[in-house]
Amino acid sequence: MNDDGTGSDEVESWLVEPTLADLFDDDRLTEQYEAVDDIELRDREFEYTDAEAVFDNEEELVVYWPLEDETGVRDRTGVPAIDLDWQLDQRVTWEFSAENERAGGAERTGTASTDLQISVLTGSFDPDEIETTLENWADDRFEEQTEDEDGDEDEDGFSSEGDRNGYELYEAGEYGFAVGTDHVVEIQTDPVVETMAALEAVLNGHERGTDRWTDDEGVQDLLDQAGVGHLSEAELHEARNRENLVAGRVEQRFGVETADADELLEHRVEQRFGVATTDTDELLEQHVQDQYGVDDPDELSERERDRLRETIEREFASLEEEVDRSLESIEESIDVEEWEDGLEGSIRSLEIDGETTELTTAFLYESESAADVDSLHEYVGSNRDVSDRWGTLNDYEVDASGRVLVVSGTIRTRSLLF
């Protein structure tokens, strides 16, 4: 519980992760992709700021940097920081397999992603004033998009979408708003996500206790250990180990998430020849179909078949060399320190008390065996200089609780400026 009475439970009730399949705008989805499959929740992050605590400790913080409106939500709603109790900004990211049709009718499957940004402002608000501010903002934001090619009103204009449980609901393009006297909620979506469906899902998660971060017991333990304090930030992600990091780098470079040489080769062959196989006979058959419009390579002259096979085998060998060389280079570039091997997420919580601040950082690992107290203790101890990650940390401890390791201690408040 914070000094102002804000409990972690209240904040956690807004940490939601809706089901993406329920949020898709089917029309826009089919405009971009032939088919979508294998939806996976990937990354989650949040930042929490207790505005009253920042103002109460303004002399030690020197400037109001914790109240910078990085998401722009306060600018859009017209809510000044001085009127806030607290603010929560979060992002949820999903990945999915997306199938597109290539030229010639061949299908190609790749990885796509989308995210949902959610901001929650808590305080005492005038909904009518906020509505006016939102309408003015939307007029400026979408003034060149308010009519479609036929001169009809476009869906990106500002519109009232009714009310529910004390909130007035509004939509403006990719933005959705729920405005009440105690809370203002804003969401931002990608084009493939239906804005109002996402807003309703966020409110449902808060009100009904469904589809929350804390549905995962490990995440609940992480939040229980650290709390939210006056300032906090958290991230959850895929386990950080060599295999996953290699796969991530491969995805950035080639568009497929894998650390396996054969899978990567098959992907590169598909990109080059339009068929996912490492069988040169199949490649020859596909190439003949694409280039000559015949199903059987035997319909070509022996000389032409030999020429095509030689070309395909040469290009296939080149792709094999490329894959081996690329994987070797990526693997050599990966450096995972012992303390972060198997790390799935963390939360850093700060409780400000004048010149000093109580710091608690909790780390969630993929297993208890991966949660190595000694390696984390060593890492913390060697990174406590002023500009280091643990700058000015004093009287600290590193404790274990199942899959979670917790670093707690005291830092100088002004060290937060570095």
Per-residue pLDDT of the chain (418 residues; tens, 9 = 90+): 344 445 678 999 999 999 999 999 999 898 888 888 889 999 999 999 999 999 999 989 887 889 988 889 999 999 999 999 999 999 999 999 888 765 445 566 778 899 999 999 999 999 999 999 999 999 998 875 545 444 444 456 899 999 999 999 999 999 999 999 999 999 999 999 999 999 999 999 999 999 999 999 999 999 999 999 999 999 999 998 888 889 889 988 888 889 999 999 988 888 887 778 888 888 877 777 777 777 777 777 778 778 888 888 888 899 999 999 999 999 888 888 999 999 999 999 999 999 999 999 999 999 999 999 999 999 999 999 988 889 999 999 999 999 999 999 999 999 888 7
Which of 299, 333, 367 is at the close of a domain?
A: 333
The per-residue pLDDT for 3 is 45
In this structure, the answer to whether residues 255 and 360 fall within a common structural domain is no
- pLDDT, residue 164, reads 93
User: Is residue 223 in some structural domain?
Assistant: no
Give me the phi and psi of 337, to 5 degrees please.
-75, 155
The domain boundary, picked from 284, 300, 333, lies at: 333
Q: Are 24 and 173 members of one domain?
A: yes
Examine residue 41 and state whether it is found in any structural domain, yes or no.
Answer: yes
Q: Which domain holds residue 137?
A: 8-215
pLDDT at 287: 72
Q: Please indicate, yes or no, if residue 227 is contained in any of the structural domains.
A: no
- Taking the C-alpha atoms of residue 418 and residue 415, their distance in angstroms, rounded to an integer, is 6
Is 55 within the bounds of a domain? yes
Backbone angles phi, psi at 125, to 5 degrees: -125, 160
Question: What is the number of structural domains in the chain?
Answer: 3
Q: Are residues 391 and 249 in the same domain?
A: no
2 lies in some domain? no
Show contacts of 75-81: CB within 8 Å, 24+ apart. 75/137, 76/133, 76/134, 76/137, 76/175, 76/186, 77/121, 77/130, 77/133, 77/134, 77/177, 77/179, 77/184, 77/186, 78/129, 78/130, 78/133, 78/134, 79/121, 79/123, 79/125, 79/130, 79/184, 81/51
User: Of 305, 333, 361, at which residue does a domain stop?
Assistant: 333
Residues 156 and 188 occupy one common structural domain: yes
Same domain, 211 and 274: no
Does 313 lie in the same domain as 190?
no
Going by C-alpha positions, the residue among 372, 370, 380 that lies closest to residue 408 is: 380
Instruction: Assess if residue 109 is contained within a domain.
Output: yes
For residues 157 and 175, membership in a common domain is answered with yes
* 127 domain residue, yes or no: yes
CA dihedral over 323, 255, 363, 209, signed as positive or negative:
negative
Same domain, 88 and 158: yes
On whether residue 52 sits in a domain, the answer given is yes
Same domain, 267 and 368: no
Q: What is the C-alpha separation between 21 and 28, in angstroms, rounded? A: 13
Tokens of 88: 């929560």
Do 306 and 409 share a domain, yes or no?
A: no
Report pLDDT for 131: 97
Same structural domain for residues 156 and 276?
A: no
121 and 39 within one domain:
yes
